[in-house]
Amino acid sequence: MRRSACHEIDEEFYAGRCAQGAEVWIIPKGHARQIVVQLRVGLGGLHRLDGVDAMGIAHFIEHRLFEKAYGDMSDRFAALGGDVNASTGLASTDYTVSCSSHWEEHIDMLCELVFAGYWDGEAIARERDIVASEIKLYQDDPDWVGYHSCLYSAYGEQAIVREIAGDEALLSGLDADLLQRWHAAYYRPENTSLFVSGNVDPHRVVVVFEEALRRHGKELRAGTRRSSPRAEPPDGALPAVSTPAAVRYPQVFMAFPDGGPRCPPRTIGRELALEIALDMAMGPASDAFARLYESGLVLGDSFSAEVHLEQAYGFCMIAAETHCPDSFVEAVYRALSADWRSDEWGEDFTRARRKVYGQVVRSFESADGCVEMMSAARQLGGQPFDYVQLLRQLSMADVADGFAYCLNTRRAGVAHLNPMQVPV
Amino acid sequence: MPQGNERFARYVDLYLGRGLYLHWQRTPNYKTLRFDFVISHPLRRPDNAHLALVGRLCERGTRLLPDMQSLNRAADNLYGAYYTVDIGSMADRQFLHVALELLDPRFVAAGEREELLLRALDMVHQIAMDPLREGDGYKASYLEQEKRALTAHIHSLYNDKMAYAQWRCAREMDGDCFAGLPAQVEDVAAVDPPDLWDFQTELMRNGEIHFYASGWIHPAQISTIAERVQTWRQARPNPVVGSVSPVEAPAARCVFECGEVNQSRLVCGYGVALPDSAADYARLLLFNTIWGGEAQSLLFRRLREERGLCYYIDSQIDAFAGRAYVLAGIDRQDYSRVVEEIDRALEDVANESIEESGFEQGRALLQHRIAALCEDRDALIRMNLRGHFAGMRMGGEELLRLVGALSVRDMAIAARQVVFSLAYLLHDRSAVGKNST
């Protein structure tokens, strides 16, 4: 295993690879009560197989894997005090367990959970109802509707825009054969990464993981790691989308997709640059935010501005409740269109970089924070301590690139949620 | 690297006089220092609207940092110190909570370490107790703006259908006495500037203050903090003793409301006997884990996994408010079936008809959650405050021990103390009934 240390934040990091090809990343935390283990499988909504994309399928597999012939696997985690959960994203599916003890058994059970499929027809039918219920639940969530609608305006008809849980038509077409085929193609040791943080011996983690893979993944053939297709924005955004929704006040969602002909690769450095760019332009200490709030253009505490960046895709999203959606959009455009290559931003840049430094150090405070940092770094082709080192090297020119290739008003997708009748 | 040897690094409590409590936790486990200022007041109408506005105005600026932007810039310059102002409630108390988290000086440039702690302390004091003022009160334009913002925030609760349904259920259960959060719109509209300033002045003079400091703080720094915090209050307050009033469950009924939803939201409200001891409290915690609070619970297993009746189902117990809720996203035609299943699960626990294995899984999971508390400052503060307000001190180790001693029979005792009060259904327009009871 390769060991590296970051004295600045007083942490160590171990990286290695199992005999079966799976990656293992560990940040030991001797004093932590909590141990967090995440097994990442490189299958997300953007992946494809036989010309079909994984939207709906990856998520359904994630749901189904919890049930085995003998019952629900989460009971076995619970019996050892393990809190297990899973989530499907655009580029991966993550299975995470947090526990205070028995981490060796939990790693073994995670491997069984992930690699041992049980594709019973009756259970699949029951799962369709559960996922259909989940989809309906999200359809009532204005944030979810706004998120997808503005991505549609930015990207058009691309997989990134679709509902990760699928839709009823897709669900009705899912059967054991199809799920098994996808599972066999993607759920392979060489397509997985294990992230661990807590009071563990890194070398022991590798031994335990290799044994678990031998036990539960032995029938899987060797292959190569599959990369996901990229979601790249078209040259210009589509018209704004207007959607009626059960909300009290109008809401605006704006997506700024990362891309374009000379766009630099999506790396940790770019993520940091975008965080700083967004904070300088629209953060709580920015001139633009002060104006938006003081003028009443933003209602209550509804304003949000976020960076979403992985190697396969990237975008920033800005959203708010407002009485005047058009004025809000104009104000955001105005704020983003400043001359970011001029010398006047030095003080703001220093402030925002200092703030992001604080956030990065804080992220390594807990075991679950460390797992999140490893997971995020892996998605961007780097390593967790790169966040500390690259932040030091970042310049205002990198931030200006963030405005040019991502926070670019020409490619912004906009969605308006308009209130339907609501109870008095 | 400093070493921590306590399993549960609980807060050490110190009464400083004048209604001021200092609680500190010296632990090397964090990369940050955190200060939490909590001032409490009885939970009642319309004071809940007053306190909500005081909280919002805390974030609009202080005498020395007179607008939101200067306040936020000052926080950013403290290496991205992160501050929040929240209003919360616990039992029959509501509180204003100002938290500030900043990097441990070990992780900042050597030249800036010295003053960091004092600058942060000063900032907490400014935000919590020294708001921006105009003449003898709050700046009128800011107050008006924050009244509008709070009103919008209350209205926007409707955007989150499950949170809205739970709030409606709680409100229906308590009728006009309902003083839960968020406050009611009519109470916000009625607030006038002099009244609010009087409320703030009285609160700062007499409200019970709990100040929490945690992180790798040197004992000498704890003395400095104690000295500094003591200067924040000059006048001697009338101490308000924490007490919990008995909560009665109103007669059972159901309320249907029509809304623009794709999926109906069901919230069942229950009255719960208030815990008299830490053992009672531990029993309720485990009961909730077994009943519906986790993915291994009876409700999750039966309604979601076995019957496919829902994706989301959860039970929550607010023990010191004497309330419990079951929340579910369902198809409206399944309403009766779901309510029956929820009832049946409660009955089964009350009749001790639950599997020993399920009980043991729930216990193991809860024990893990309690163990994880020691790394969650918010949870530790809540535990400390709860103990203070309810008059029962309990730490993580004690809770672990109490949970370890519980049996299936204890779950039955807890279940029998949970009494159904109200089923509230937010449904789509073609639904089962209209505001029927």
What is the pLDDT at residue A313? 95
Q: Which DSSP helix (H) or strand (E) runs through A243?
A: strand A241-245
In tens, the pLDDT along B178-211 reads: 777 788 899 999 999 999 999 999 999 989 999 9
pLDDT value of residue B435: 38
What pLDDT is attached to residue B178? 77
ipTM: 0.89
**Chain B residue with minimum CA distance to A295:** B145
Of A9, A100, A129, the CB nearest to B371: A100
Chain B nearest-CA distance from A262, in A, is 32
Q: pLDDT category, A31, cuts 50, 70, 90? A: confident
At A178, the amino acid letter reads L
Any CB–CB contact under 8 A between B413 and chain A?
Answer: no
Residue type, B183: A
Pairing relationship of beta strands A241-245 and B20-26 according to DSSP bridges: unpaired
Q: How far apart are CA A137 and CA B329, in angstroms?
A: 7
Q: Decide if pLDDT at B4 tops 80.
A: no
Contacting residues for A218 by C-beta, under 8 A, at least 6 apart:
none
Cβ contacts of A75 on chain B, cutoff 8 Å:
296, 357-358, 361
d(CA A147, CA B348): 42
DSSP conformational letter for A65: T
Taking residues A256-273, report their average pLDDT.
93
Q: Does A5 touch chain B (CB under 8 A)?
A: no
Q: What angle do CA A274, A279, A284 make, to 5 degrees?
A: 160
Give the residue among B227, B307, B321 at the shortest CA–CA distance from B275.
B321
Do β-strands A67-68 and A71-72 pair in parallel, antiparallel, or remain unpaired?
A: antiparallel
Question: What is residue A83's predicted lDDT score, i.e. its pLDDT?
Answer: 94
Q: Is the pLDDT of residue B224 over 70?
A: yes
Given B77, B260, B331, which is nearest A351 (Cβ)?
Answer: B77
Burial class (CB in 10 A: 0-12, 13-18, 19+), B220: exposed
Across residues A217-226, what is the average pLDDT?
A: 58
Sign of CA dihedral A174, A120, A63, A192: negative
Tokens of B269: 């409200």
List, as ranges, residues 28-67 from A with C-beta within 8 Å of B.
31-34, 67
- Banded pLDDT at A368 (limits 50, 70, 90): very high
**Cβ(B436)–Cβ(B254) under 8 Å?**
yes
The two tokens of residue A104 are: 């060796």
Inform me whether the C-beta atom of residue B369 falls under 8 Å from chain A C-beta atoms. yes
B362 in A contact zone (CB under 8 Å): yes
CA distance B425 to chain A (A): 13
Q: Do A365 and B312 touch (CB under 8 A)?
A: no
Partner B contacted by A364 (CB < 8 A)? yes
pLDDT, tens digit, 9 for 90 and up, residues A233-250: 988 778 999 999 989 999
Give percent above pLDDT 90 in chain B.
57
Q: Please judge whether B149 and A100 are an interchain contact, meaning their C-beta atoms are less than 8 angstroms apart.
A: no
Subunit contact A134:B106, Cβ cutoff 8 A: no
Tokens for A392? Answer: 């030091």
Reported as a single tens digit per residue, the pLDDT across A296-325 is 999 888 999 999 999 999 999 999 999 999
Instruction: Tell me the CA distances in angstroms from B294 to B52, B83, B209, B288, one per residue in order.
Output: 32, 31, 34, 8
- B1 neighbourhood in chain A, CB within 8 Å: 10
- Among residues 75-104 of chain A, which lie with CB inside 8 Å of chain B? 75, 78-84, 98-100
Tokens of A51: 């010309």
A157 CB-contact burial (10 Å; exposed 0-12 / middle 13-18 / buried 19+) = exposed
* B29 at interface of A, judged by CB pairs closer than 8 A: yes
- Cα atoms in the 13 Å half-sphere on the side-chain side of B212: 24
Query: Residue A235 has what pLDDT?
Result: 83
- Whether A10 sits inside 8 A of B304 (CB atoms) is no
* Mean pLDDT, all residues of chain B: 87
Tell me if A355 and B4 make a contact (CB, 8 A cut-off).
no
Coil vs helix vs strand at A167: coil
Q: pLDDT tens, A273-284?
A: 999 999 999 999
The closest of A352, A242, A16, A379 to B75, measured between CA atoms, is A352
Q: Is A19 on the interface with B (CB under 8 A)?
A: no
Higher pLDDT, B4 or B267: B267
- Mind telling me how many Å the CA of B143 is from chain A's nearest CA? 12
Judged by a CB distance cut-off of 8 A, whether residue A133 touches chain B is yes
With beta carbons under 8 A apart, name residues in chain A contacting B149: 299-301
Question: B144 to chain A, minimum CA–CA distance in Å?
Answer: 11
- Write out the DSSP string of A284-338: TTSHHHHHHHHTT-S-TT--EEEEEEETTEEEEEEEEE-S-HHHHHHHHHHHHTS
Q: Which residues in chain A are contacts of B79 at CB distance < 8 A? A: 354-355, 357-358, 361
- Chain A: closest CA distance from residue B141 (Å): 10
Of the residues B375, B378, B400, B428, the best mutation for testing chain A's interface (the one with the most A CB atoms within 10 Å of its CB) is B375
Of A74, A69, A47, nearest in space to A59 by CA: A47
A349 band by pLDDT with thresholds 50, 70 and 90: very high
Give me the residue from B76, B259, B375 closest to A366, CB to CB. B375
- The per-residue pLDDT for B430 is 60
Interface contact flag, B76 A354, Cβ < 8 Å:
yes
Q: Which amino acid, B69?
A: Q
Given this model, what pLDDT does residue B262 score?
87
Which residues sit opposite B267 in a β-bridge? B327, B424
Contacts of A302 in chain B (CB under 8 A): 152, 156
pLDDT at B383: 87
Q: How far apart are CA B382 and CA B326, in angstroms?
A: 22
For residue A12, the SS3 value is strand
> Could you give the C-alpha distances from B53 to A235, B46, B151, B182, B196, in angstroms and in order?
46, 11, 10, 11, 8
pLDDT digits (tens, 9 = 90+) for B79-120: 889 999 999 988 888 999 999 999 998 898 877 777 888 899
Q: Is the pLDDT of residue A171 over 80?
A: yes
pLDDT over 70, % of chain B = 92
- Convert chain B into a string of H (helix), E (strand) and C (coil): CCCCCCCCCCCEEEEEECCEEEEEEECCCCCEEEEEEEEEEECCCCHHHHHHHHHHHHCCCECCCCCHHHHHHHHHHCCCCEEEEEEEEECCEEEEEEEEEEECHHHCCHHHHHHHHHHHHHHHHHHHHCECCECCECCHHHHHHHHHHHHHHHHHHHHCHHHHHHHHHHHHHHHHHCCCCCCCHHHHHCCCHHHHHHHHHHHHHHCEEEEEEEECCCHHHHHHHHHHHHCCCCCCCCCCCCCCCCCCCCCCEEEEEECCCCCEEEEEEEEECCCCCHHHHHHHHHHHHHHHHCCCCHHHHHHHHHCCCCCCEEEEEEHHHCEEEEEEEECHHHHHHHHHHHHHHHHHHHCCCCCHHHHHHHHHHHHHHHHHHHHCHHHHHHHHHHHHHHCCCCCHHHHHHHHHCCCHHHHHHHHHCEEEEEEEEEECCCCCCCCCC
Minimum distance, in Å, between the CA of residue B418 and any CA atom of chain A = 25
Residue whose C-alpha is closest to residue B95's, from B50, B126, B154:
B50
Residues of A in contact with B161 (CB under 8 A): 140-141, 246
Mean pLDDT across A337-349: 93
- Per-residue pLDDT at A226: 66
How far apart (Å, rounded) are the C-alpha atoms in residues B411 and B408? 5
Residue A400, φ and ψ in degrees, nearest 5: -60, -35
Q: Which of B103, B309, B365 sits opposite A83 (nearest CB)?
A: B365
CA distance linking residue B236 with residue A256, whole number of Å:
55
The confidence score (pLDDT) of residue A229 equals 81
pLDDT tens for each residue of B369-390: 998 887 888 888 988 888 888 8
Q: In the beta sheet, which residues pair with residue A2?
A: A15
Before B193, cis peptide (omega within 30)? Answer: no
Contact between A296 and B331 using a beta-carbon 8 Å cutoff: no
Q: Tokens standing for B400?
A: 């672990």
- Considering only alpha carbons, which residue of chain B is nearest residue A364? B31
In a mutational test of the A interface, the residue from B311, B312, B356, B424 whose CB has the highest number of chain A CBs within 10 Å is: B311
Beta-bridge mates of residue B314: B327
| Peptide linkage before B46 cis (omega within 30 of 0) | yes
Q: DSSP label at A235? A: S
B253 CB near a chain A CB, below 8 Å? no
Closest partner residue to B365 (CB to CB) among A78, A140, A294 is: A78
The reply to whether residue A8 touches residue B107, judged by beta carbons under 8 angstroms, is yes
pLDDT score of B98: 97
CA distance, residue A412 to nearest chain B CA (Å): 25
pLDDT > 90: percent of chain A = 87
d(CA B347, CA B345): 5
Tell whether B59 is within 8 A of chain A (Cβ).
no
For residue B292, the model assigns a pLDDT of 93
Question: Do B161 and A246 lie within an 8 Å CB cutoff?
Answer: yes
CA distance A176 to chain B (A): 18
Distance CA A129, CA A177 (A): 19
The DSSP bridge pattern shows strands B82-90 and A413-419 to be: unpaired
A178 interface with B at CB cutoff 8 Å: no
What's the pLDDT tens digit per position in A68-101? Answer: 999 999 999 999 999 999 999 999 999 999 999 9
**What's the rounded Cα separation, in Å, for the pair B192 and B189?**
8
Q: Cβ separation of A364 and B31 shorter than 8 Å?
A: yes
- For residue A137, which residues of chain B lie inside 8 Å, CB to CB? 263, 311-312, 329
Give the lowest-confidence range in A5-14, A370-379, B21-30.
B21-30
For B108-125, b/e burial (b = at least 16 CB within 10 A) is: beeeeeeebbeebbbbbb
Q: Is the pLDDT of residue B431 over 50?
A: no
Give the pLDDT of residue A223. Answer: 56
Q: Are A200 and A103 in contact (CB under 8 A)?
A: yes
What distance in Å separates the CA atoms of residue A369 and residue A358, rounded to the nearest whole number? Answer: 14
For residues B43 and A416, what is the distance between their CA atoms, to the nearest angstrom? 38
